[in-house]
Chains A and B, each alone.
Chain A
């Protein structure tokens, strides 16, 4: 596709369940970012993948959060034992090269934990 694709667009889950969010970056983009956006808030950095380098996981809020990326393609963000405070929009972004320039965002996954 032409842009960053995320799925699902909406996810409703029960507290304590695990969820997996998917991101398909733009083809050829080596950098991939996950951000969290709570209602009415800014963009909270979660994790950053750059090529074959070790990912920057310093933004993950707890060990319930993890993310993987297959080469320079698909990434999955997994949240285990979800809590109500995990409810937010999870945004994925990719860019052509390293350095955080010219990010293209996906439309996000709205996660609701009941």
Chain B
């Protein structure tokens, strides 16, 4: 099946700085890559996603890049704010056989933005 690795596990940045979280995946057939944000004590929420037919997608301060050849994708948050503090999960959708349609999640990155 798919294997998703996420780094770093913790990330601390000063307010206004940028934050980058990286994920790698193993299945070259995977074709959909979402990012979820989970604030303390709350449910995970989708913040951005990207399909394998594009290399980059941006939504205000958040962007995701995808390198299919290298099988890695990254979340970029610019001009970070304290309310960006949360755990961020990357995921990859299985692309073949029994994995088709399943989302495989990374272990998460705890982002802390200091004011």
Interface residues of B: mostly helix, strand, loop or mixed? strand
SS class, residues of chain A in contact with chain B: loop
**Which stretch from A15-23, A39-47, A79-87 is at the chain B interface?**
A39-47
CA distance A33 to B108 in the complex (A): 19
- The distance from the CB of B39 to the nearest CB of chain A, in whole angstroms, is 12
Chain A contributes a number of interface residues (CB within 8 A of B) equal to: 23
Interface contact A105-B104, CB-CB below 8 Å: no
| A residues 22-41 touching B (CB-CB < 8 Å) | 31, 33, 35, 41
Total number of A-B contacts with CB less than 8 angstroms? 60
- Establish whether residues A48 and B101, one from each chain, have CB atoms under 8 Å apart when the complex forms: yes
Chain A positions within 8 Å of B89 at CB level:
42-43
Residue of A nearest to B45 (CB): A105
B13 at interface (Cβ–Cβ under 8 A)?
Answer: no
> Which B5-21 residues have C-beta < 8 A from chain A?
6
User: Does A8 make an interface contact (CB < 8 A)?
Assistant: no
| A56 at the binding interface (Cβ < 8 Å) | yes
13 contacting pairs across A/B (C-beta < 8 A): A31-B101, A42-B107, A43-B44, A43-B105, A48-B102, A58-B98, A100-B101, A101-B49, A102-B34, A102-B49, A103-B44, A106-B43, A107-B43
